[in-house]
Amino acid sequence: MAQDGVEFSRIDGILDELQPYLVMGVQNHNLRNFTFERWRWDEPRLTVTWAGDDHITRNLGVSLRFDGGNERMGEILVEVNAWRDTDEMGGSVRIRKWRTARIGELKIREIRPRTPVLIFDEQLLIHSLYIGFRTVSSWQFRDLETATPIPAFASGRLLG
Amino acid sequence: MIVHLYRYGSDPIELAQILRERRIQSRNAATAFATWYTFDRYDDPAAAQQFLALRDPPVYRVGPVWAFDVGQPDIPPRPVAPANGQPGGGTELRVVSSVWIFGVWNYQAQRWEL
């Protein structure tokens, strides 16, 4: 969602500065067949998603949160997720088995008008990404502790 | 196949744009104004937050709009991945064009009647 009082282009500049850290994390963990995305539903977020041979899909997200629309205050959040969707009860119910963890919350010390836009604890972000990739990669199917019924996926829906 | 779409949001400026222009489109120039939709109508904002994996419950819902008005998605329909501590599991797609929605404009009064 939009960040009240904070311009999208300004936030996009912050994502520009965070992206190389995520790219470095991907390289350090030798991820293959991953997808990379910026923004989602107008929420400022960098997401790396990959699927393993274990049929579990995993992602690591770095998102931004600003305090009450204050452009100079905010946090960088590092989050990981793993999930697998299964059809149960003869295919009538779809269950998502998933697990999530908030790995890091880094205070943004300052947001400046020119490069570097963002002043934050660089080493803490690098460490959080390392822990995040390592944690989510270690999760097995038995570790996906939450089961949530979800709507059946439909690529199109007939109107009757 | 005929489908309808909904958009959920929390941006007061986007909401004002919808009411003023009867037009749906993200304000995010960083994504070339690409706009996310879902097939699903949620009456409970908490359910929208959960299945669309949004950071906060949305403030408003727009729709239904017809898919053929929206145009070809640049990100086709896909299951929503977990994010923001939410499970996701809904369906999402993204389009780059804006959508005009139904309205009745009164030329004399210079206002929307509906």
Min distance B106 CA to chain A CA atoms (Å): 31
> What pLDDT score does A5 carry?
45
> CB contact, 8 Å: B91 with chain A?
yes
Min distance A5 CA to chain B CA atoms (Å): 10
- Mean pLDDT, residues B1-7: 83
DSSP A62-127: EEEEESTT-TT-EEEEEEEEEEEEEEETTTTEEEEEEEEEEEEEEEE-EE-SSSS-EE--HHHHHH
> What pLDDT score does B16 carry?
94
Q: Could you tell me the pTM of the whole model?
A: 0.91
> CB contact, 8 Å: B10 with chain A?
yes
> CB contact, 8 Å: B28 with chain A?
yes
**Does A102 contact B2 at a Cβ distance shorter than 8 Å?**
no
**Does B85 contact A148 at a Cβ distance shorter than 8 Å?**
no
- Distances from the Cα of A47 to the Cα of A109, A153, B98, angstroms: 23, 21, 25
Give residues with Cβ within 8 angstroms of B110, minimum separation 6: none
> CB contact, 8 Å: B14 with chain A?
yes
> What pLDDT score does A131 carry?
96
> What pLDDT score does A112 carry?
72
Closest CA to A98 of A52, A139, A53: A139
The half-sphere exposure of A144 on its side-chain side, counting CA atoms within 13 A, is 22
Using pLDDT thresholds of 50, 70 and 90, give the confidence band for residue B40. Answer: very high
Tell me the pLDDT of chain A (160 aa) as tens digits.
444 445 888 889 889 999 999 999 999 999 988 999 999 999 999 999 999 889 999 999 999 988 766 666 789 999 999 999 998 887 778 999 999 999 999 888 777 777 777 777 888 999 999 999 999 999 999 999 999 999 877 654 544 3
> What pLDDT score does A4 carry?
46
Give residues with Cβ within 8 angstroms of A89, minimum separation 6: none
For residues B15-37, one letter each, b for 16 or more C-beta atoms within 10 angstroms of the residue's C-beta and e for the rest, the string is eebbeeebebbbbbebbeebbbb
Q: Would you call the peptide bond into A116 cis, given omega within 30 degrees of 0 as the criterion?
A: yes
> What pLDDT score does A160 carry?
33
> What pLDDT score does A69 carry?
60
**Does B81 contact A4 at a Cβ distance shorter than 8 Å?**
no
> CB contact, 8 Å: B44 with chain A?
no
> What pLDDT score does A36 carry?
96
Greater confidence (B67 vs B51) lies with B51
Q: What is the mean pLDDT of chain B?
A: 94
* DSSP secondary structure code for residue B4 in this structure: E
Min distance B63 CA to chain A CA atoms (Å): 14
Which helix (H) or strand (E) segment holds residue B20: the answer is: helix B12-21
DSSP B62-114: EEEEEHHHH---SEEEEEPPPBTTB---SEEEEESS-EE----EETTTTEE--
This model of the complex carries an ipTM of 0.93
> What pLDDT score does A2 carry?
46
